[in-house]
């Protein structure tokens, strides 16, 4: 008897589906019986593999595999039918209904059907492209599409429409319309116009020249009404600048005349009136400040006009000086005291001097300024009718009390009128800061943080402590903020001390001293000091 | 007298193709492994004195006869049980003379989880039984009627 060998090489690679009628399964399975015995196989390995393969076939025969496949296929159809057509299936006592039809329904109105959704998307697309409105009530929950929401409608709404005229209109604006409206015929013409503008603004010095240059340079490019309008506007601007310059010159003459009158009034040389009384001095001085500011404003306007006409003719030096003046006197005059105003006037004159040397206006302003100093600084001493003292170097006085307190954030300096007089901010934090261990031996250092501040602070330990005194003097340059940040004097032993405090304030010596007569009892604010906790005293006096 | 529990049968074939047989008996004190080793040794000794070829041999243990009355069913009707075994194999167990009332209306199915069939399946799964390759039965895969020739 021929024995079988098991097909190890090809087994498990492919399977075939053999339909066997269920009634034939017992017979077919019985026919396979002999393959479960050892004698039909060549070797033990063939037997084991063949036995398992035949037994596997026998096991599959009772599984009704084909019916399971058909059931799964039917279920798959119902799944797709539900998704695509929206058909709803139900099961009652193992019977699923509706039955699978031979022809699908193809419904497009069931809300959850893919067909319905696709139909809706198609409607949305056509609505967007053509603004065609759709209202399909058969699709439950779907609203009618808005015709105005379509792309066509939206684009039409965005584009402009020309006004209707006798010749028509009311039509959408085209790019050609916009191009014509701009009056730009070609890129070549545009370049000619730009060159003309540049030439006119850069070289022409008077209105006649401007007109001639415009007529020459525009040439053939000035071919439309709009371009002609531009030329007219340029001519008008040139004429207006010339007129403004003339007006400014007239105003400057009036200013000089007023300053002369004020000078005569202050110096008592005005034959038509009495010398100014001390009571009148503040008013007159304020007027000087106003006039000075107005002069600066006028100068600025004059410069601006001159620059518009021909910037090239104004030297760089003159420009820098004028702008420097404008920057110095740009603050409101009303915010200054008499001293500050007078001092600024002096500074203004020093700046104007190179520009107006030999001019009568300059000498007049110098005289006015000297008298203002006299009035401001020496008003008490010089008002007794004994005549004016020689004008001392400028020394802004201290007309108010100052308070000094050490806080956790710095030295709280409340100078009252002082800061206002010398023209700086009154914010304590903007004036000074305290470096807790910045001085020699790690002692605190008081530093000025703003330009133009000259401060001296004497710090003393508690009265029952006869030990060391520390004096911190901050001498700070006001000139452009380039001076030293602070100078520290550490004095040992009991005070008082002669304070070597000198500095420069806009070129003239000024000395202030703040000595102690006020105590800050907030001890926790003094923790930054090393050693025994000192108290802080401060009062104000002037050392000159 | 020692009880005989197994018979060693040597299957022989002479030069004309006719079968011959040799039967010896095994005492109950001999294990299956020892009986098999003894059969191989005996076959070698027989070959030295006989011109027959050895077709094969078997060790058949004692047959316990419980009822000698004729059966009630057709011998061709077989209950086929197919099990899964450990190691991924299969085991086919056929019970001849299947009662007709155990077969379903389709003429094929036999419910292996209920009634007497279920009890039989449980015994097979819980007992020491395995397939021809020593793999223990683990689960019933199929139970149906089979018709043998």
The whole-number pLDDT of residue A453 equals 35
A-B Cβ pairs (cutoff 8 Å, strict): 66
Contacts of B123 (CB under 8 A, 6+ apart): none
**Quick one: pLDDT band at residue A229, thresholds 50, 70, 90?**
very low
Q: What is the DSSP letter of B43?
A: H
Q: Are strands B53-61 and B4-13 parallel, antiparallel or unpaired?
A: antiparallel
- Mean pLDDT of all residues in B25-48: 81
The answer to whether A56 contacts B142, with C-beta atoms less than 8 Å apart, is no
Q: What is the DSSP letter of A336?
A: S
Cα–Cα distance, A229 to B8 (Å, whole number): 134
Nearest by CB: B147 against A26, A56, A62: A26
- Mean pLDDT of all residues in A478-487: 34
Q: Which of A133-142, A535-544, B29-38 has the lowest mean pLDDT?
A: A535-544
- Chain A residues near residue B141 by CB distance under 8 angstroms: 59
The whole-number pLDDT of residue A28 equals 92
The whole-number pLDDT of residue A523 equals 33
Q: Which of A181-190, A299-308, A342-351 has the lowest mean pLDDT?
A: A342-351
Cα–Cα distance, B20 to A35 (Å, whole number): 26
Cα–Cα distance, B121 to B93 (Å, whole number): 10
- Chain A residues near residue B109 by CB distance under 8 angstroms: 62
Give the tens place of pLDDT for each residue, A440-456.
Answer: 555 444 444 433 333 33
Range among A20-29, A224-233, A528-537 rated most confident:
A20-29
What is the nearest CA distance from B65 to chain A, expressed in angstroms? 25
Residue A8 has pLDDT above 90, yes or no: yes
Whether ipTM exceeds 0.85: no
Contacts of A65 (CB under 8 A, 6+ apart): A17
Residue A314 has pLDDT above 60, yes or no: no
Proportion of chain A above pLDDT 90, given as a percent: 7
Q: At A166, is the secondary structure helix, strand, or coil?
A: coil
**Quick one: pLDDT band at residue A393, thresholds 50, 70, 90?**
very low
- Mean pLDDT of all residues in A243-247: 58
The answer to whether B106 contacts A22, with C-beta atoms less than 8 Å apart, is yes
- For residues A399 and A22, the model is more confident at A22
Cα–Cα distance, B126 to B124 (Å, whole number): 6
Q: At A426, is the secondary structure helix, strand, or coil?
A: coil
The whole-number pLDDT of residue A182 equals 59
Residue A466 has pLDDT above 80, yes or no: no
Interface test with A, best of B80, B110, B131 (most A CBs within 10 A): B80
A376 neighbors A283 (Cβ within 8 angstroms):
no
Sign for the CA dihedral angle at A196, A198, A199, A203 comes to positive
Residue A13 has pLDDT above 50, yes or no: yes
- Chain A residues near residue B17 by CB distance under 8 angstroms: none
A34: Cα within 13 Å, side-chain hemisphere: 9
Q: List the single residue in A with minimal CA-CA distance to B105.
A: A23
Q: From the DSSP assignment, how many helices (H) and strands (E) are in chain B? A: 2, 6
Sign for the CA dihedral angle at A22, A26, A27, A29 comes to positive
Residue A269 has pLDDT above 70, yes or no: no
The whole-number pLDDT of residue A47 equals 95
Q: List the single residue in A with minimal CA-CA distance to B96.
A: A30
The answer to whether B94 contacts A33, with C-beta atoms less than 8 Å apart, is yes
The answer to whether B90 contacts A47, with C-beta atoms less than 8 Å apart, is no
Element at B79 (helix H, strand E): strand B77-85
Burial class (CB in 10 A: 0-12, 13-18, 19+), B78: buried
The whole-number pLDDT of residue B88 equals 92
**Buried (b) or exposed (e) across A391-418, using 16+ Cβ within 10 A?**
eeebbbbbeeebbbbbeeebbbbbbebb
Cα–Cα distance, A344 to A338 (Å, whole number): 10
Q: Which residues pair with A470 in a beta bridge?
A: A459
The whole-number pLDDT of residue A100 equals 85
Residue A127 has pLDDT above 80, yes or no: yes
Q: What is the DSSP letter of A459?
A: E
The whole-number pLDDT of residue A248 equals 60
What is the nearest CA distance from A56 to chain B, expressed in angstroms? 7
Please report, in angstroms and rounded to a whole number, the separation of the first and last CA atoms in chain A.
142
Number of C-beta neighbours around residue A147 at 10 A: 14
Residue A228 has pLDDT above 80, yes or no: no
Q: List the single residue in B with minimal CA-CA distance to A59.
A: B142
Mean pLDDT of chain A: 57
Number of C-beta neighbours around residue A242 at 10 A: 17
- Chain B residues near residue A49 by CB distance under 8 angstroms: none
Burial class (CB in 10 A: 0-12, 13-18, 19+), A448: buried
Interface test with A, best of B85, B88, B92, B121 (most A CBs within 10 A): B92
Dihedral over alpha carbons B17, B23, A34, A47 (to 10 degrees)? -100
Per-residue DSSP letters for A226-292?
Answer: HHHHHHHHHHHHHHHHHHHHHHHHHHHHHHHHHHHHHHHHHHT--TTSPPPPGGGHHHHHHHHHHHH
A53: Cα within 13 Å, side-chain hemisphere: 17
Residue A334 has pLDDT above 90, yes or no: no
Angle at A53 between CA A47 and CA A56, to 5 degrees: 135
Q: Which of A174-178, A231-235, A391-395, A408-412 has the lowest mean pLDDT?
A: A391-395
Give the tens place of pLDDT for each residue, B68-127.
Answer: 677 777 768 889 999 999 999 999 999 888 888 888 888 888 887 778 899 899 999 998
Closest C-alpha to A311, from A212, A235, A197, A205:
A205
Task: Please report which residue ranges of A390-540 form alpha helices under DSSP H.
Answer: 417-422, 428-431
Nearest by CB: B90 against A31, A38, A59: A59
- Chain B residues near residue A24 by CB distance under 8 angstroms: none
The whole-number pLDDT of residue A50 equals 96
The answer to whether A26 contacts B146, with C-beta atoms less than 8 Å apart, is yes
Sign for the CA dihedral angle at B129, B135, B139, B143 comes to negative
Q: Which of A158-167, A312-321, A472-481 has the lowest mean pLDDT?
A: A472-481
Six token digits for residue A77: 């159809």
Cα–Cα distance, B33 to A3 (Å, whole number): 28
Q: Which of A101-110, A274-283, A448-457 has the lowest mean pLDDT?
A: A448-457
Six token digits for residue A83: 């998704």
Q: From the DSSP assignment, how many helices (H) and strands (E) are in chain A? A: 16, 12
- Mean pLDDT of all residues in A381-407: 35
Q: What is the largest CA-CA distance in chain B?
A: 60
Six token digits for residue A315: 């030297």
The answer to whether A61 contacts B144, with C-beta atoms less than 8 Å apart, is yes
Nearest by CB: A33 against B132, B142, B148: B148
What is the nearest CA distance from B76 to chain A, expressed in angstroms? 9
Interface test with B, best of A34, A55, A66 (most B CBs within 10 A): A55
């Amino acid at each position: 008897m021929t024995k079988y060998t098991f097909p190890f090489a090809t087994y498990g690679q492919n399977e075939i589906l053999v339909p066997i009628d269920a009634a034939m399964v017992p017979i077919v399975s019985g026919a396979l019986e002999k393959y479960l015995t050892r004698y039909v196989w060549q070797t033990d390995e063939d037997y084991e593999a063949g036995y398992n393969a035949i037994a596997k076939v026998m096991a599959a025969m009772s599984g009704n595999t084909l019916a399971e496949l058909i059931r799964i296929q039917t279920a798959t159809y119902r799944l797709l039918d539900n998704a695509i057509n929206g058909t709803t299936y139900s099961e009652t006592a193992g019977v699923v209904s509706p039955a699978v039809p031979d022809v699908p329904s193809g419904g497009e109105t069931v809300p959850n059907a893919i067909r319905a959704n696709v139909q809706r998307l198609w409607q949305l697309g056509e609505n967007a492209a053509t603004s065609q409105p759709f209202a399909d009530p058969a699709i439950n929950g779907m609203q009618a599409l808005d015709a105005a929401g379509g792309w066509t409608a939206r684009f039409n709404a965005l584009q402009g429409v020309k006004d209707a005229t006798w010749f028509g209109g009311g039509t959408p604006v085209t790019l050609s319309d916009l191009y014509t409206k701009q009056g730009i015929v070609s890129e070549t013409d545009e370049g000619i116009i730009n060159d003309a503008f540049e030439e006119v603004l850069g070289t022409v010095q008077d209105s006649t020249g401007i007109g001639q240059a415009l007529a020459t340079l525009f040439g053939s490019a000035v071919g439309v009404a709009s371009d002609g309008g531009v030329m007219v506007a340029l001519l008008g601007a040139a004429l207006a600048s010339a007129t403004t310059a003339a007006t400014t010159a007239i105003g400057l003459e009036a200013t000089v005349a007023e300053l002369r009158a004020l000078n005569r009034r202050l110096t008592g040389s005005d034959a038509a009136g009495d010398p100014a009384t001390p009571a009148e001095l503040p008013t007159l001085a304020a007027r000087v400040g106003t006039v000075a500011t107005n002069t600066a404003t006028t100068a600025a306007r004059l410069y601006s006009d001159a620059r518009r006409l021909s910037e090239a003719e104004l030297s760089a030096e003159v420009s820098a000086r004028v702008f420097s003046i404008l920057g110095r006197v740009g603050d409101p005059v009303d915010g200054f005291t008499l001293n500050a105003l007078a001092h600024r006037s002096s500074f203004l004159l020093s700046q104007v001097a190179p520009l107006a040397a030999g001019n009568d206006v300059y000498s007049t302003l110098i005289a006015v300024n000297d008298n203002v100093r006299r009035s401001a600084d020496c008003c008490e001493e010089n008002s007794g009718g004994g005549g004016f003292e020689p004008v001392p170097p400028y020394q802004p006085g201290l007309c108010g009390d100052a308070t000094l307190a050490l806080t956790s954030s710095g030295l709280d300096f409340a100078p009252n009128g002082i800061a206002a007089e010398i023209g700086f901010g009154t914010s304590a934090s903007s004036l000074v800061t305290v470096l807790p261990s910045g001085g020699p031996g790690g002692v605190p250092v008081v530093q000025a943080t703003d330009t133009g501040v000259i401060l001296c602070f004497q710090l003393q330990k508690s009265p029952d402590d006869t030990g060391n005194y520390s004096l911190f003097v901050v001498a700070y340059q006001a000139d452009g903020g380039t001076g030293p940040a602070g100078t520290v004097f550490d004095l040992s032993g009991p005070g008082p001390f002669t304070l070597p405090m000198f500095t420069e304030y806009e070129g003239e010596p000024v000395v202030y001293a703040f000595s102690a007569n006020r105590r800050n009892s907030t001890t926790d604010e003094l923790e930054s000091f090393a050693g025994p906790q000192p108290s802080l005293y401060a009062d104000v006096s002037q050392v000159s | 007298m020692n009880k005989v529990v197994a018979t060693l049968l040597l299957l022989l074939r002479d030069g004309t193709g006719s079968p011959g047989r040799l039967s010896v008996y095994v005492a109950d004190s001999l294990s299956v492994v020892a009986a098999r080793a003894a059969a191989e040794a005996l076959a070698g000794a027989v070959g030295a004195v006989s011109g027959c070829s050895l077709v094969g041999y078997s060790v058949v243990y004692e047959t316990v006869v419980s009822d000698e009355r004729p059966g009630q069913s057709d011998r061709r009707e077989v209950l086929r049980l197919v099990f899964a075994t450990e190691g991924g194999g299969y085991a086919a167990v056929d019970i001849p003379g299947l009662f007709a009332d155990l077969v379903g209306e389709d003429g094929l199915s036999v419910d292996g989880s209920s009634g007497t069939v279920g009890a039989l399946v449980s015994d097979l799964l819980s007992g020491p039984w395995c397939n021809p390759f020593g793999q223990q039965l683990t689960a019933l895969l199929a139970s149906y009627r089979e018709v043998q020739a």
